[in-house]
Amino acid sequence: MNRRMESSKLGLIEQSWVREALDELPDNFTITDPSISGHPIVFASVGFCKMSGYPRDEVIGKNGRVFQGPATNRRSVMEIREAVREERSVQINLLNYRKDGTPFWMLFHMVPVFGKEDGSVIHFVAVQVPISRKPRRSSVGSEFCRRNGVDSCETLFGSCRRQVCSDSAVDLSRVLALESDTSELELEVPREASDTEKRRAANAVNNILSVLTHYSELTGRLMCGKRCCLSAMGLHGSSIASSLGRIKQSFVLSDPRLPDMPIVYASDAFLKLTGYARHEVLGRNCRFLSGADTDPSTVFKIKESLQTEQACTVRILNYRKDTTSFWNLLHISPVRNASGKIAYFIAVQIEESCNNQDGQCVSPDMRQLSTVGAVKVAVRTMSMGAGSSKS
């Protein structure tokens, strides 16, 4: 009992027996904490320290960028940062550097760890599997031999070792330079992880998550490898909620990264229009508003716009919770984050009968576009803020 009480005062990774359990795993991995400024490493496995050449005390508290170097692909780094911002998994081939400065290719597999109660991201687990597959070295040498009229590179290198070539032979210094530069040329060619290495990374992630979820029960803050709480998918309670809450128009946000593209935010005006409570809306696909007399061709047009990631406007017959129908002037548009990737789809609803009766000077099109613009500003501002605090 006392052990449980003491554990609740500390984070999971701070527990000595949790660290001991993680140290028993043979894999190369780190665990980071996105809630701390700079998103530092809070645990580094024995295998990772051995692979990188860094002692643990030189790794803890540092951001993972310290292992990058001049030949690390910037685009790959941006993909990792974007995955952190979007709180999702990523698997990518990456060139990193050991403490002694030597570069090495690895398969980088990172996954978020979620709190079971509120669905927030508590940690990121990053597994690193060295890539053993080397790029072919014969292509450069073969091209060298072809240009110099030599039938076999083996013959060329063998003859140059036996005698110093004169004017009639290939310049020996060029051959030796080619041989010495091979390691540098290999760095420029990205290595591809094998299926075996990918399986190793996936198995390692599963083992680490198993340890974390098991020991999280002692701290009172349960963890899981998937976002378990549907209410957490909603943006209520986050920094963006206040911005979205000021928008008076009826609209919902759906997340295309989640299965079946569920609603993750519903405005108060949407709840008033449809008669549903918020908990009855979050986590459901927008199709629940359709009914017996909804035109299938209109539904198909909506699906097509989502698949092509294009905006569309339709007039569709929808149904409230009390089963009464209404004509919905619906506008759907993708909402991109600060890096240009689609974060959500927004669906803005205007009831046709109300629009004809209220005598508003602003057209439905302008009201919809104004709502879309306000949501885009809020989402981009949120993603930029997340990037500065987590990357």
**What SS3 state is found at 345?**
strand
pLDDT digits (tens, 9 = 90+) for 190-241: 788 898 999 999 999 999 998 988 888 776 667 776 655 444 444 544 556 6
55-59, 88-92, 115-119, 243-247: which is most confident:
55-59
In the block, residue with structure tokens 């549907």: 230
Q: Which homologous superfamily is 234-390 in? A: PAS domain (3.30.450.20)
Helix/strand number for the chain, H first, E second:
15, 11
Mean pLDDT of the chain: 79
**Half-sphere exposure (Cβ direction) of 286: Cα atoms closer than 13 Å:** 28
**Is it the case that residue 139 has pLDDT exceeding 50?**
no
**Half-sphere exposure (Cβ direction) of 109: Cα atoms closer than 13 Å:** 21
Q: What angle do CA 29, 32, 44 make, to 5 degrees?
A: 35
Q: Record the tokens describing residue 33, joined without a space.
A: 């904490």
**Is it the case that residue 100 has pLDDT exceeding 70?**
yes
Percent of the chain at pLDDT exceeding 70: 72
**Half-sphere exposure (Cβ direction) of 127: Cα atoms closer than 13 Å:** 25
pLDDT digits (tens, 9 = 90+) for 250-301: 999 998 888 788 888 899 999 999 999 988 888 889 999 999 999 999 999 9
Report the topology of domain 2-134+189-224. Beta-Lactamase (3.30.450)
Q: Which residues pair with 243 in a beta bridge?
A: none
Ranking 46-60, 118-132, 296-310 by mean pLDDT, the lowest is: 118-132
In the block, residue with structure tokens 């609803």: 349
Radius of gyration of the chain (CA): 28
User: CA of 343: how far to CAs of 88, 363, 375, in Å?
Assistant: 12, 27, 11
Alpha helices in the chain (DSSP H): 2-7, 16-23, 46-52, 74-85, 138-147, 153-162, 172-180, 182-188, 195-216, 230-233, 241-245, 268-274, 296-307, 352-357, 364-390
Q: Record the tokens describing residue 249, joined without a space.
A: 């128009």
Domain with CATH 3.30.450.20 in the chain: 2-134+189-224, 234-390
Round to the nearest angstrom and report the end-to-end CA distance of the chain.
Answer: 38
pLDDT digits (tens, 9 = 90+) for 363-390: 788 888 888 988 888 877 766 555 444 4
**Pair 56, 28: CB distance under 8 Å:** no
Q: What average pLDDT does the segment 73-98 reach?
A: 90
pLDDT, position 117: 66
pLDDT band of 175, cuts 50, 70, 90: very low
pLDDT, position 8: 38
pLDDT digits (tens, 9 = 90+) for 3-12: 433 333 457 7
